[in-house]
Homo-oligomer: A and B are copies of this chain.
Amino acid sequence: MRDFRHDHSALALNTATLGHNVEGAGAGWSPERVIDACAERGIGGIVFWRRELAGRAAAIGDHARRSGVEVIGLCRTPFLVGPLAERDATAIADDFRRAIDLAAEVGAPVLTIVTGGVAAGTKGMGESLKIVAERVAQAVPWAREAGVKLALEPLHPVYGGNRSCLVTTREALDLCDGIDDEALGVAIDIYHVWWDGDLSRQISRAGRRILGFHLCDWLAETTDVLLDRGMMGDGVADIRAIRAAVEAAGYQSFCEVEIFSANTWWKRDPADVLDVMVERFRTVC
Binding site for B on A (CB under 8 A): 82-83, 117-118, 122-126, 156-158, 160-162, 167-168, 170-171, 194-198, 218-222, 225, 235-241
Contact = CB atoms under 8 A, between A and B. Distances in A.
Contacts of A83: 220-221
A205 to B, nearest CB: 14
Nearest to A160: B195
Top-9 shortest CB links A-B: A124-B238, A161-B220, A123-B238, A118-B236, A160-B195, A158-B158, A157-B195, A162-B220, A161-B236
A236 B124 contact: yes
Nearest to A157: B195
B220 A117 contact: yes
A250 B111 CA distance: 46
Nearest to A124: B238
Contact of A157 (B123, B124, B156, B162): B156
B162 A225 contact: no
Contacts of A194: 124, 160
- Counting every copy of the chain, the complex holds 2
Contacts of A241: 123-124
**A interface SS class:** loop
Nearest to A117: B220
B158 A123 contact: no
A218 B161 contact: yes
A189 B158 CA distance: 15
A138 B177 CA distance: 44
Given A158-B225, A198-B198, 7 more contacts: A123-B238, A123-B239, A125-B195, A160-B195, A161-B222, A168-B197, A170-B198
Contact of A219 (B161, B218, B221, B236): B161
A60 B231 CA distance: 49
13 contacts: A83-B221, A123-B240, A123-B241, A124-B238, A160-B194, A161-B218, A161-B219, A161-B220, A167-B195, A167-B197, A168-B196, A170-B198, A225-B225
